[in-house]
Structure 1
Amino acid sequence: MQKLYSNKLVIFSLVLPGLLVFLFAILAPICLSVYYGFTSYSGMGQAEWIGWENYKTLLRDANFGRSLTNSLLLAIGFIFIQHPIAIIVAAVLDKLQGKAEGVFRCIYFIPNVISVAVIAYLWKFIYNPDFGLLNNALRALGYQGKINWFSNDTAIWSVLVVLIWHGFGWGMLIYYTGIKNIDPVLYEAASIDGADQVSTFLRITLPLMKPVIQVNVTMAIISALKQMETVYLLTNGGPGNSTQFAANYLYQQAFKAFRYGYGNAIGVVFIIICLLVTVFLNKIFADRQPA
């Protein structure tokens, strides 16, 4: 077997399929996006080269700025609301054992296996100002007004709640898997030394979960930037552009406004931001790890 894997032809034949997928499914589309980002291509006809004009327009585009701001708000919500709760829930699930552990794990993950369309329309009914569950609950508590949760003032917060809730299961499952991979001997030693649950969590679980936290935080920020389906089905960026997100704005510009070149410029900026975020987070977590 070792002789087989030392054969260069065998190695090349094993690497080639993955290399072809990378070239044609990832690298080639990125290169085309970079090219079209320098054109005024509408999606039909000839692509006219216009240089940096699309990127200059992006710098002045208030709607694009709003989409990045909303993506930043969502990333903050993921990191400081969703993830702390997810890691605590994962730690509690790890202590449950037996059937209860499996049941609650499934319950928390259910929203992630439901169609995005179903999730969006479910929350539309919850937020409905006339017969929605949320307004009915407020009336039961004595509030007599009628709140339009998708108005200019509240729409972005309503969308953020849905996105944070919907992505909770993935974050929790990743943290849960990370906790399960921690050697139980460490917890037993801490218990013998008299450490309580909080001290064990802060001094053993969290430090050993740093690589998992790094991956989860990186994925959360990238996910915040590429939110599209749920936003499109809930508000499509409205009212106005108050709930606009980068990926949804790209879709609108490229396929609805027929500014395909401009949409690709947005895509290139999106890729650059994702790369910078990944490098930045790698540096932060590397600096904090003990030598």
Structure 2
Amino acid sequence: MQKLYSNKWVILSLVAPGLLTFIFAILAPICLSFYYGLTDFSGLGNATYVGLENYKNLMSDAAFWTALRNSILLAFGFILIQHPLAIITAAILDKLQGKAEGFFRCVYFIPNVISVAIIAYLWKFIYNPNFGLLNNILKIFGYNKEVNWLGSGMAIWSVLVVLIWHGFGWGMLIYYTGIKNIDPVLYEAAAIDGANTRTVFMKITLPLMKPVIQVNVTLAIIAALKQMETVYLLTNGGPGNETQFLANYLYKQAFSSFKYGYGNAISVVFIVICLVITVALNKMFQEKEVK
């Protein structure tokens, strides 16, 4: 067996499928994006080289900066609201045991198995200013004014609520799996020592969950940057560009406005941002572990 694995042709045959998949599914599209980002290609016809013109236009594009701001807001919403609630919920589920644990685990994950289209239209009805559930609840408490939740000034916060709610199940499930992998002997030892629930959570659960938190936070930030489907179906970036997100804006520029070159310039900036954030998060967590 050792002789077989030392054969260069055997090694090449094992590595080749994954390497070819990486080249044609990831590396080649990224290189093409870099190329088209330097052109004025509309998606049809010939592409004319324009150098860094698309990137210069991008720096003065107010809609792009609004989309980036909204993506950052969503990332903070994931990290500061969704994830703390998810990890606390996961810790509580771990303590429930039995049928209750399985039932609530499924309940919290249900939104993630429902079609994005259904989720978007469901929330459209909830937010409807005329007959929506939210306004009807407000009327019960004596507030009779019709609030346009997807109108100017309110739309971005309404969209953020939907996105944070919809992604909750994934974050909770990842944290739940991480907690389940913690050795129960540690909890038993803490119980013998008389540690209360809060102490156990802060001194055992959270420190041992650092690798899981790192992965989950990285995934959350990337998910916030590439958020599109729900936004596209809920508001399509409107009113104006108030609820515009990076991926949705990229799509609109490339395929609706026929600015394929400009859309690829946005995608290149998107890739750079994702790489910078990933490297920064890895360094941040490594420094904390060293300390």
1:81 aligned partner, one-letter code: I
State the SS of the aligned residue for 1:182.
Answer: coil
Q: How many positions carry a matched residue from both structures?
A: 291
What are the Cα deviations for residues 92-114 of structure 1, in whole angstroms up to 9, with x where unaligned?
A: 01111111111110100000000
Change (3 A) 1:101 1:3: farther
Q: How does 1:47-58 map to 2 (within 5 A)?
A: 47-58=47-58
Give runs of aligned pairs for residues 1-291 of structure 1, distance below 5 A. 1-290=1-290
C-alpha displacement at 1:200, in angstroms? 0.3
Q: TM-score, normalised by structure 2?
A: 0.99
- CA deviation digits over 1:173-207, x for unaligned, max 9? 00001101111111111111110010000000000
Superposed displacement of residue 39, structure 1: 0.4
Q: Secondary structure at the match of 2:239?
A: coil
Gaps of 5+ in 1: none
State the shift of 1:2 in Å. Answer: 3.6
Cα separation, 2, equivalents of 1:10 and 1:94: 45
Quick one: percent identity of the two aligned structures?
Answer: 75
SS of residue paired to 1:49:
coil
Q: How many angstroms does 1:259 deviate by?
A: 0.4
5+ residue gaps, structure 2, are none
Cα distance in 1 for residues equivalent to 2:290 and 2:15: 36
Q: Secondary structure at the match of 1:124?
A: helix
User: 1:10, CA displacement in angstroms?
Assistant: 1.8
State the AA in 2 paired with 1:158: S
C-alpha distance in 2, partners of 1:7/1:102? 49
Q: CA RMSD in A?
A: 0.8
Alpha-carbon distance between aligned partners in 2 of 1:8 and 1:112, rounded to the nearest angstrom: 44
Looking at structure 2, the residues matched to 181 and 2 of structure 1 have their Cα atoms a distance apart, in angstroms, of 34
Amino acid at match of 1:163: L
What secondary structure does 1:262 align onto? helix
Q: Secondary structure at the match of 1:289?
A: helix
Q: How far apart are 1:290 and its partner, in Å?
A: 3.5
